[in-house]
């Protein structure tokens, strides 16, 4: 008699390998927040079907680059959900630039309910988000993402205003800008203002006047000593440490006696950014 091939055991005889059993009516939703362009994520995993076979899961997801939510929903077959992994497979996001949320939905069509949150956290090409066993992070957790930003040059005689974009939260780290005064005779006194959209919450400025026809590079630095001007016409102004700014807040200048021909330029600043999903 020829040998018998093994027959997969019935579902009732299989030890439950996962706390998540799918009925075949659930869907997996991947949602993301990102502040980088050209990104693509791959979500992969496995389902143990009732007949004992393994069914793979694999689909791609494209995050938005504007700190707004992007979603992808796929149907799932019946069985035990064994595991999921999310990894950046297109682009090269730094840690803190791409956040992902994995959820199980039930309902289909229009009205769907979230029945379980599987995991949430940041992903890169080399740092995946895993379920089960992964560490959960809210988008405002973690070290954030360092951004060096080239500011917008205002018109002559106008002030700097750098606004925190929608969906972002910034921790201010450093700021610099060049101020060139025209030949108009007047003593200018530049100040830096943290502005909440309606009023200034913090202001500090130069104690040294900038006269006509001068170029001074101003540096705003958290924790710096009292304002001082060095021999290279660099002036450092202190700022509070650990200031976090919500979307809509701004870093402005306010220059006493500014003249029509005065010009702010060469604006650059360093912030630590988190995404809020708001």
- The region of weakest confidence among 10-14, 74-78, 179-183 is 10-14
Percentage of the chain exceeding pLDDT 70:
91
Model confidence at 2, in pLDDT bands (50, 70, 90)?
Answer: low
Cβ proximity of 23 and 79 under 8 Å: no
- Give dist(CA 147, CA 55) in Å, integer: 41
pLDDT at 11 over 60: no
Q: Is the pTM of this model over 0.95?
A: no
Higher pLDDT, residue 273 or 197: 273
Report the SS3 class of residue 13. Answer: helix
Cβ proximity of 71 and 22 under 8 Å: no
Q: Which of 85, 91, 74 is nearest to 34 (CA)?
A: 91
- Give dist(CA 55, CA 45) in Å, integer: 9
Quote the mean pLDDT of the chain: 89
pLDDT at 31 over 80: yes
Q: Where do the domains of the chain lie, and which CATH numbers do they carry?
A: 11-131 (2.60.60), 145-275 (2.60.120)
pLDDT at 83 over 90: yes
pLDDT at 152 over 70: yes
pLDDT computed for residue 237 by the predictor: 85
pLDDT at 239 over 80: yes
Higher pLDDT, residue 3 or 38: 38
Segment 71-92 shows an average pLDDT of: 95
Cα distances from 276 to residues 103, 130, 249, in angstroms, run 18, 22, 14
Q: Is 94 exposed, middle or buried (0-12, 13-18, 19+ CB in 10 A)?
A: middle
- Give dist(CA 71, CA 73) in Å, integer: 7
């Amino acid at each position: 008699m020829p040998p018998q091939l093994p027959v997969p055991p019935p579902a009732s005889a299989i030890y439950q390998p996962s706390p998540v059993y799918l009925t075949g009516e659930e869907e997996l939703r991947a949602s993301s927040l990102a502040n980088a362009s050209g990104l693509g994520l791959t979500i992969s995993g496995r389902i143990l079907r009732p007949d004992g076979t393994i069914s793979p899961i694999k689909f791609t997801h494209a995050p938005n680059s504007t700190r707004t939510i992007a979603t992808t929903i796929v149907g799932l077959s019946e069985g035990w959900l064994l595991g999921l992994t999310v990894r950046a497979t297109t682009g090269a996001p730094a840690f803190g630039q791409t956040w992902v949320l994995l959820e199980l939905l039930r309902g289909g069509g229009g009205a769907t309910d979230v029945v379980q949150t599987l995991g949430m956290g940041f992903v890169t090409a080399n740092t995946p988000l895993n379920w089960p066993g992964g560490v959960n992070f809210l988008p405002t957790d973690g070290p954030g993402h360092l951004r060096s930003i080239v500011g917008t040059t205002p018109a002559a005689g106008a002030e700097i205003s750098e606004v925190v974009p929608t969906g972002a939260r910034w921790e201010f780290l450093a700021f610099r800008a060049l101020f060139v005064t025209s030949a108009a005779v007047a003593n200018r006194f530049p100040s830096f203002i943290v502005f909440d959209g309606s009023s200034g919450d913090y202001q500090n400025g130069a104690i040294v006047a900038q006269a006509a026809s001068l170029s001074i590079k101003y540096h705003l630095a958290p924790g710096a000593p009292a304002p001082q001007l060095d021999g290279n016409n660099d002036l450092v102004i202190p700022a509070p440490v650990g200031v976090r700014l919500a979307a809509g807040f701004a870093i402005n200048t306010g220059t006493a006696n500014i003249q029509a021909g005065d010009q702010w330029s060469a604006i650059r600043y360093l912030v630590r950014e988190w995404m809020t999903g708001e």
